Chains A and B, each alone.
Chain A
């Protein structure tokens, strides 16, 4: 009676055992079923999950769920591909890096020719950025998301995690230094950070996102001869004027010293060009290639006033123009004979052909350019030397002879 009652129970147990054994047998021998995201999160979903070294291995389900990969249903093992075949859990401590190339083959192909990839290939311990250094890992978001580290407005800070980090700059031997600090104060950096303009360029607009190359690499968009076209992507009108001017012409002829945009404006510290600071700065910029003109400018009224900080006088660009600078003999030049009167007239209302004969780069030592000034200068020098020599001697002799009344009598005895 008691035994009879037990039969179904035993049968059920036997069935279950057999079923379990049947279920386990093919799993051990045929292809194992990859772990699902839930399987992974069973351990990694705990915020306190940590590896043997104490490093957090937590993947917060909320964060992953909100990421683009979570939203479109990417499986953990799609990226952590070596776990797809793993059956031992907890799995080995050391895993292969997550692979992006399976889905993002185009971006990775571009990255592979970049200076970052090159550095990582050359040195296993390189600090150069890989995919997740810019994009993040489990919480990854598309660049259109305002919270993404690769969002247009966030990218400078993202690049700055390395390019604004003294330790990494040192380790990676990054010659330009803390470039993000320079950029943040520039007109482009301010447009992004302060005005929130998504049309203002961030790092990738000049350097590209994935295939970043050294500026000395002819394939780089910031290679010297490519810069005008690169800036011209936004500054189209300026580029066109530059190409027609002497500087663009010199570049087109392959002259190695021809200035491009960044020669005058700098690459990362581009400043506003309206206002006193730039007017003073442009003297140094133009003067670095035209030292003679800078020197003669310094010696005339406009130049001396600017030395004292009074900037409401003409500096280089006020007369010569900025991008479409032409040689003086070219009729298009603002300082050509045909246009000089109106150029002076921008500041001097009564400008006329006689007025425009003033030489803003006069050189008193240059006989060929300013003969009258040369001789006047020589006359003035002679006058000064003559007067001071005569009266210097006169004074010295008198001082030795004249004596204070009272004191003198004794000394003359």
Chain B
């Protein structure tokens, strides 16, 4: 590894996520795992594990109630997130929410970076120089955003069918049931495999990347993995604003426990789904 020229201090940490973002991710993670474990028994009700998994939550009926409790948490998270975005955009007039390196909006450079990244995989070019958000992080974000809209919306229709029958024909409940299940399967499959790999399990992060729990990235991570952001911040002389003292040890320990539990549960769920799809479904 080449020595970093003009590195102010190799021990420095920089803030990537604020407390609110980290808490939101925590609630999202907790409710997501809860929704997966209470929802999948119904989607794979003919799998041999379905009755037992629902039984952990007190059977089919109470698993349904627990599912709605987790759903309310996640919907709350979604509403709060959209409200915070609106607040940044319309009250604080932060237009960088819409475009630029700090925005989640897909931009031409994401396509370029994705192509470059794929070329790098195939040893056809150098590693792209990523900025604050990479294309796969944006995909994760929009997948969850779209998922919350579609799964949340269809879930509400299924939760209150009598009410929604005044707005929609009943045949749409069949669509809602199908979409809720298939989107749920997509979300669970994606988060518990692709997201886990991209963020935690890939060899250069294994076993986990604690950034979403500590909120901090090391000097090395910032300069090596997001060189475009690092250069931009240094040029704008904003690196110092983001510099923070290292996260306390207990945060790291907590992060490790939470991540191990979440990844274990997630991979177990993937195992159950694969078993049901490959062996138990006609």
A→B interface (CB under 8 Å): 298, 300-301, 303-305, 307-310, 312, 348-352, 354-359, 362, 364, 370, 372-373, 376-377, 380-381, 383-384, 387-388, 391-392, 394-395, 397-405, 407-409
Contact = CB atoms under 8 A, between A and B. Distances in A.
Interface residue SS majority, chain A: helix
B101 interface: no
A395 B198 contact: yes
23 contacts: A305-B45, A309-B54, A349-B162, A350-B162, A354-B168, A357-B169, A362-B174, A364-B178, A373-B175, A377-B178, A380-B182, A380-B186, A384-B182, A384-B185, A388-B190, A394-B118, A397-B118, A397-B122, A403-B203, A404-B203, A404-B204, A405-B1, A408-B203
B107 interface: no
Contacts of B128: none
Given A357-B169, A373-B174, A398-B121, A383 B186 contact: yes
Contact of A348 (B46, B162, B204): B162
B197 A395 contact: yes
A354 B162 CA distance: 9
Contacts of B1: 405, 409
B174 A358 contact: yes
B110 interface: no
B59 to A, nearest CB: 6
A168 B136 CA distance: 75
Name the 4 nearest CB pairs between A and B, nearest first: A350-B162, A310-B60, A308-B60, A357-B170
A383 B43 CA distance: 18
Interface residues of B, number: 51
B64 A310 contact: yes
Interface string B46-81: 100011001000011101100000000000000000
B166 interface: yes
Interface string B192-211: 01100110001110100000
Nearest to B182: A380
Contacts of A300: 174, 177
B276 interface: no
A308 B175 contact: no
B179 interface: yes
A411 to B, nearest CB: 11
Given A380-B178, A395-B193, A402-B203, 10 more contacts: A304-B45, A305-B60, A305-B61, A307-B45, A308-B51, A357-B169, A373-B174, A383-B186, A384-B186, A394-B118
B155 interface: no
Contact of B178 (A358, A376, A404): A376
B51 A391 contact: no
Contact of B174 (A349, A359, A397): A359
B161 A400 contact: no
B174 A309 contact: no
B54 A357 contact: no
Interface in B95-127: 118, 120-123
Nearest to B177: A301
